[in-house]
Amino acid sequence: MTGKARIAVLISGAGTNMAALVYASRIAPCPYEVVLVASNDPEAAGLKLAAAEGIATFALPHKGMTREAHDAAMEAAVLKAGADHIVLAGYMRILSDGFVERWEGRMLNIHPSLLPLYKGLDTHARAIAAGDSHAGTSVHLVTPELDAGEVLAQIAVPIVPGDTPASLAERVKLAEHQLYPRAVADYVSRWRNPAWLLDQLRARALALPETCEQESFGSAGFRVGEGKSGKYFAYFADRPHGHERIALLVKASGMDELHALVEDQPETYFKPAFYGARGWVGIVLDRPDLDWGDVEAWLQRSWRAVAPKRLTRLMDVAEEF
């Protein structure tokens, strides 16, 4: 199966979260490895640790550089290291939109608050001043808007009497060191997580007109049409009979297409047991480079092959224009 995800960690300071990520990666089985630690501050303590751990490092002060030029240099180092994800761990720079957009879905950050509360700086002082019972930490995807991307994981941490921003920060970091490696590991391996794959598939299948979900022989199935007259157009198959992989079963146009697909792209398509004989093709879903646009197109085709005429007729008319 495919190798580990390759992450580049960007830091500006102590780098304790970076250290947590590195040490977690040394406990098998970990689905990622740290291939670069980079910083905008050559004095960042974390750089020395990374180097001592035999990890490639890169440092470039941002002073005197435009944001775009500095980001471009950091990005070049990330690409040179062959990283496929960027993990921000106390990287105290706002990133340019272009950089963020190029890495959308592949860049994560950890922020010391229970987002959406307290975006930006001084999170602990603000939580204490507000009289909150808990502070916390959030791992989120990075989008151009600061600290606003999808939250992937959170831990709440109590604020205790007498807490100062510094004492609270220290406690929150203990939680961060547990949370970040786990959240990164889950995220980079979601492509082979059956629950995540089914969620993705479900959202797309149920977005088609007049569809519903109905289990079939223990697998999730998706039907179009009303009640008993409805027909299945897709099945989610977690390691179907005779296969190791997680798959989507949809209708091919016939046996010729089915056999051609399996012959041309055996990594992607297969002839499933039982269903294959009736013209259903298996599409392997647990691939890191899976194109969800293709999956969507297959779902539409399959839906169209079995949907009642009154639904497809409207589409045929629409397509003529």
Residue whose CB is less far from ligand GRF, 16 or 189: 16
Q: Please tell me whether residue 17 binds ligand GRF under the rule CB under 6 A.
A: yes
Min dist. Cβ of residue 11 to ligand GRF (A)? 6
- The count of residues in the chain is 321
CA–CA distances in Å: residue 214 to residues 45, 106, 202, 252: 55, 33, 11, 21
Min dist. Cβ of residue 90 to ligand GRF (A)? 3
Q: Please tell me whether residue 127 binds ligand GRF under the rule CB under 6 A.
A: no
- Strands 5-11 and 32-39, by their bridges, are parallel
Min dist. Cβ of residue 5 to ligand GRF (A)? 20
Amino acid letter, 263: E
Nearest to 142 by CA among 193, 98, 78, 81: 98
Q: Which residue is nearest to ligand GRF (CB)?
A: 90
Residue whose CB is less far from ligand GRF, 16 or 300: 16
Distance CA 92, CA 246 (A): 40
Interface pick for ligand GRF out of 34, 37, 77, 89 (rule CB under 6 A): 89
Min dist. Cβ of residue 97 to ligand GRF (A)? 20
Amino acid letter, 32: Y
Min dist. Cβ of residue 55 to ligand GRF (A)? 15
Distance CA 253, CA 255 (A): 7
Window contacting ligand GRF (CB under 6 A); options: 105-113, 141-149, 184-192, 207-215: 105-113
Q: Which of residues 148-187 bind ligand GRF (CB under 6 A)?
A: 173, 176
Interface pick for ligand GRF out of 75, 86, 112, 246 (rule CB under 6 A): 112
Return the sign of the alpha-carbon dihedral for residues 235, 240, 242, 245: positive
Q: Please tell me whether residue 110 binds ligand GRF under the rule CB under 6 A.
A: yes
Window contacting ligand GRF (CB under 6 A); options: 9-17, 189-197, 213-221, 295-303: 9-17
Catalytic residue among 70, 111, 124, 177: 111
User: Residue 314 corresponds to which tokens in the numbers above?
Assistant: 């409207």
For the question of residue 111 being annotated catalytic, the response is yes
Residue whose CB is less far from ligand GRF, 111 or 245: 111
Give 248-299 as a DSSP string: EEEE-SSHHHHHHHHHH-TTTEE--TTGGGGTEEEEE---TT--HHHHHHHH
Distance CA 226, CA 167 (A): 60
Distance CA 265, CA 239 (A): 19
- Are 62 and 72 in contact by the 8 Å Cβ rule? The answer is no
Q: Which of residues 134-153 bind ligand GRF (CB under 6 A)?
A: 137
Interface pick for ligand GRF out of 8, 16, 32, 83 (rule CB under 6 A): 16
Q: Please tell me whether residue 15 binds ligand GRF under the rule CB under 6 A.
A: yes
Window contacting ligand GRF (CB under 6 A); options: 6-14, 191-199, 209-217, 301-309: 6-14
Q: Please tell me whether residue 111 binds ligand GRF under the rule CB under 6 A.
A: yes
Min dist. Cβ of residue 64 to ligand GRF (A)? 24
Give the side-chain half-sphere CA count within 13 A for 107. 21
Cβ partners under 8 Å of residue 95, min gap 6: 67, 71, 142
Interface pick for ligand GRF out of 5, 24, 34, 90 (rule CB under 6 A): 90
Give 2-28 as a DSSP string: ---EEEEEEESS--HHHHHHHHHHTSS
Give catalytic residue positions.
111
| Residue ranges in contact with ligand GRF by CB under 6 A | 11, 13-18, 89-90, 110-112, 137, 173, 176
